[in-house]
Amino acid sequence: MDTMLTIVVPCYNEEEVLPISSKELLIFLLKMIEAEKISNESQIMFVDDGSKDNTWEIIEQLSNEDKHYTGIKFSRNFGHQNALVAGLTSAEPYSDAIVTIDADLQDDINSIEQMIDAYHDGNDVVYGVRGNRDSDTAFKRKTAEGFYSVMKKLGINMVPNHADFRLLSKRATQTLLEFKEENLFLRGMVPLVGYPSAKVFYARKERAAGESKYPLKKMLSFAFEGITSFSIAPIKFIRNLGIFILIIGIIYMAYIFGRNISGNTISGWSSIVGSIWLLGGIQMISLSIVGEYIGKIYTEVKRRPRFIIEKNIRDK
């Protein structure tokens, strides 16, 4: 089989897990080559997203040991989504298909074989989808379900329980790279490509070593990024909330006016102060949401590069 496959692996401070995952990825790659499902020129590309440990040194050592390893190094940390785009951009010119997978290998490597089969069956996009979330805590399961539910209600087309473990054909990669926005949310962008797609279900494993790069705070930030990158529903919600509060205010004023006419009034500051705090809080939240959209516009119009590559092993 002449299919040139590149497996793109974003890395940030992965010195603990990289020696383990790189070996497993190479074993799988060689197995696929031996089975003649992919070309012998297929590679594993590590993208060092500005790591502060010895991640890049490990990548260089791996590339010296085996030709199937390659890598690129960012000049600083640009973020996971930009690392994926950099890998796609670098691999696209010479790859027929590209698989993206995280370095911790919680996603099942063996599922890539099913992805390749689906690609050979004519699918340009193959999503790796978790069969269940039994390994997650109850809190994480509920928040994940809530996130996908909110995204669906906002009209954002996403594949539930799919992260960034997927296969893209050459033309799907080329089309995706035509999306030039700076605020990246690939889980929402890939379905917009619209080519034939398939799903491969797998069981997510525990992280082999190291710590998760997505704590709760970062996950919430990522979720908010996805919502504001694909929908103006929050702004519409603010508008509707403002109308609702205005109506309540008019009713309340009519009520107070009626009490004043009857002479049955109660003096005090509690209702006034409560109203001030309520409206003040709503205004602050509203301004912050509107500001988020303005900030995204500011980021887009600057047209700064998504990433800067300091070193590329293929250039040697």
Q: Give every strand in the sheet of 125-130, ordered side by side.
A: 197-202, 125-130, 162-169, 97-100, 5-11, 43-48, 69-74, 309-312
Give the whole-angstrom CA distance, residue 256 versus residue 176. Answer: 58
Q: Does domain 5-211+304-315 have CATH number 3.90.550.10?
A: yes
Cα 216 off chain centre by:
14
Are the C-beta atoms of 33 and 39 separated by less than 8 Å?
A: yes
- Tokens encoding 45: 């590309």
Query: What pLDDT score was predicted for residue 271?
Result: 62
Q: What is the pLDDT of residues 90-110, one digit of tens each?
A: 999 999 999 999 988 888 899
* For the chain, percent of residues with pLDDT exceeding 70: 66
Does position 57 have pLDDT exceeding 90, yes or no? yes
pLDDT tens readout for residues 247-296: 676 676 666 666 666 655 555 544 665 566 567 667 767 776 777 777 66
**Ramachandran angles phi, psi of 129, nearest 5°:** -120, 130
Specify whether the CB–CB gap between 6 and 46 falls below 8 A: no
The phi, psi pair for 153, rounded to 5°, reads -65, -30
The CB-side HSE value for 83 (13 A sphere, CA atoms) comes to: 28
To the question of pTM greater than 0.75 for the whole model, the response is: no
Residue entry with tokens 């301004």: 287
Side-chain half-sphere CA neighbours of 170 within 13 A: 9
Contact between 3 and 38 (Cβ < 8 Å): yes
Single out the residue of 205, 15, 220, 3 nearest to residue 99, CA to CA. 3
CA atoms within 13 A on the CB side of 302: 11
Q: From CA 34, how far away is CA 40, in angstroms rounded? A: 8
168 vs 16: CA distance, rounded Å: 28
Q: 130 or 153: which carries more pLDDT confidence?
A: 130
Over range 43-64, report the average pLDDT: 93
Instruction: Give yes or no for a contact between 14 and 103, defined as CB atoms under 8 angstroms apart.
Output: yes
CB-CB contact of 246 with 283 (8 Å): no
Between 262 and 169, the higher pLDDT residue: 169
